[in-house]
Amino acid sequence: MAKEHYIPNISRDVFIDSSENGQDIKRQLKYLKKIAMRKGFAVAIGHPYPSTIKLLSDYLPTLLEHNIEVVPVTKLIELHTQQQQRLKLTSRFLIKVNN
């Protein structure tokens, strides 16, 4: 819906804690890291469950070891929007050149 109304947006990649089970959350955190390393960023959402907060706190050093920084989603939206604008400009330029 946001796209239809030209509102800057970004989609989530991982739902960290659809289950409160610690092993499930750890698996999702590993998946989050994999996506971030592949794409250059990843968006995760979760609940403020005590288990989620504890496991995320424990997992943060692992992310930092791989130069993965936790930032507010607004920062990712800003970077994503800038990237999309650059791609549009590049595409227009390439179309102009090919004509």
Task: Supply the CATH classification number for the domain 3-98.
Answer: 3.20.20.370
The total number of residues shown for the chain amounts to 99
The predicted pLDDT at position 98 comes to: 40
What does the domain layout of the chain look like in residue ranges?
Answer: 3-98
Q: Work out the end-to-end distance of the chain between its first and last CA atoms, rounded to an integer number of angstroms.
A: 34
- Please write the tens of the pLDDT for every residue from 49-79: 999 999 999 999 998 898 988 888 889 888 8
pTM of the model: 0.75
| CB neighbours of residue 73 within 10 Å | 14
What is the token pair recorded at 93? 């330029």
Task: Give the C-alpha separation, 74 to 80, whole Å.
Answer: 10
